[in-house]
């Protein structure tokens, strides 16, 4: 039996607050150490090792760090696409050209300053790294609730694109269950500082 949408929404809100509260307790040393471990684990993923184009994002605050991973992928010759938040919360994309080519944007984000490639550019990615707050045993991801990546996943589905979907999290954010809605999509793998977990398709 499906849950009442209002109940489901409140469950997500409660879980988001708890997870963000746990992140708030992390020290800069905690996040730096985790970022290095995440990069090492992620770079061993076959889905990234064989990728020509990876859609990713620049971590901010106490999010699991992506900076080292972005640079390592770029050094490998991977074309890394980074999101640019549009006024309607959809995402445009531009190529990552190094940390010096990132600019501060709204909501504390860092965005690439290069040519905008359009929202459909993500459909060319071999792998998409998704931000999130949790993932459960089925691979269902809990995002922050803004809906930007729901649009990305819907766009990929409409285009018939099937990139590897990977979420980067801290170990405590792999949970038994997250509340889901009809538009939610499972991911293929989660990377934490402790390693990689894959989910059955």
User: What is the per-residue pLDDT for 50?
Assistant: 87
Residue 86: pLDDT above 50?
yes
Give the CATH number for residue 167. 3.40.50.10420
3-state secondary structure 117-164: CCHHHHHHCCEEEECCCEEECCCEEECCCCCHHHHHHHHHHHHCCCCE
- What span, in angstroms and rounded, lies between the C-alpha atoms of 75 and 107? 29
User: What is the per-residue pLDDT for 183?
Assistant: 75
Answer for the pair 45, 166: CB distance below 8 angstroms, yes or no. yes
User: What is the per-residue pLDDT for 9?
Assistant: 52
Domain count, the chain: 1
The one-character DSSP state at 2 is P
Residues 151-174: what's their mean pLDDT?
Answer: 96
Closest residue by Cα to residue 167 from 182, 185, 181, 151: 185
Binding-site residue positions for ATP: 12-16, 141-149
pLDDT digits (tens, 9 = 90+) for 45-79: 998 988 999 999 999 999 999 999 999 999 999 99
Q: How far is CA 176 from the centre of its chain?
A: 19
Instruction: Report which of residues 164 and 7 the model is more confident about.
Output: 164
Please state, for a pLDDT cut of 90, what percent of the chain lies above it: 81
Binding-site residue positions: 12-16, 58, 63, 141-149
Q: Check the CA dihedral 100-59-87-152 and report its sign.
A: positive
- For 36, 191, 197, the CA distances from 194, given in Å and listed in that order, are 11, 8, 10
pLDDT digits (tens, 9 = 90+) for 110-160: 999 999 999 999 999 999 999 999 999 999 999 888 889 999 999 999 999
Nearest-5° Cα angle at 82, 79 to 83 = 150
The three-state secondary structure class of 172 is helix
Closest residue by Cα to residue 186 from 136, 125, 152, 129: 136
140: left (phi over 0), alpha (psi -120 to 50) or beta: beta
pLDDT grade, residue 180 (50/70/90)? confident
pTM score of the predicted model: 0.91
Query: Average pLDDT over the chain, rounded to whole?
Result: 91
Domain that holds residue 181: 5-198
Binding-site residue positions for substrate: 58, 63
């Amino acid at each position: 039996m499906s849950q009442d949408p209002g109940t489901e929404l409140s469950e997500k809100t409660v879980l988001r607050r708890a997870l963000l509260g746990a992140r708030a307790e992390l020290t800069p040393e905690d996040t730096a150490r985790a970022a290095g471990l995440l990069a090492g684990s992620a770079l061993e993923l076959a889905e990234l090792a064989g990728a020509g184009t990876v859609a990713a994002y620049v971590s901010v605050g106490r999010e699991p760090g992506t900076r080292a991973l972005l640079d390592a992928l770029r050094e490998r010759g991977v074309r890394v696409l980074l999101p640019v938040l549009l006024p309607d919360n959809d995402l445009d994309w531009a190529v990552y050209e190094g940390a010096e080519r990132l600019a501060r944007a709204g909501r504390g984000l860092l965005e690439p300053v290069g040519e905008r490639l359009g929202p459909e550019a993500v459909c060319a990615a071999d792998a998409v790294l998704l931000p999130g707050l949790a993932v459960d045993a089925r691979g269902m991801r809990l995002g922050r609730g803004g809906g930007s990546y729901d649009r990305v996943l819907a766009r990929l589905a409409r285009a018939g694109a099937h990139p590897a979907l990977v979420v980067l999290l801290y170990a405590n954010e792999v949970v038994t269950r997250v509340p889901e809605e009809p538009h939610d999509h499972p991911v293929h793998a989660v990377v934490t500082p402790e390693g990689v977990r894959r989910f059955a398709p």
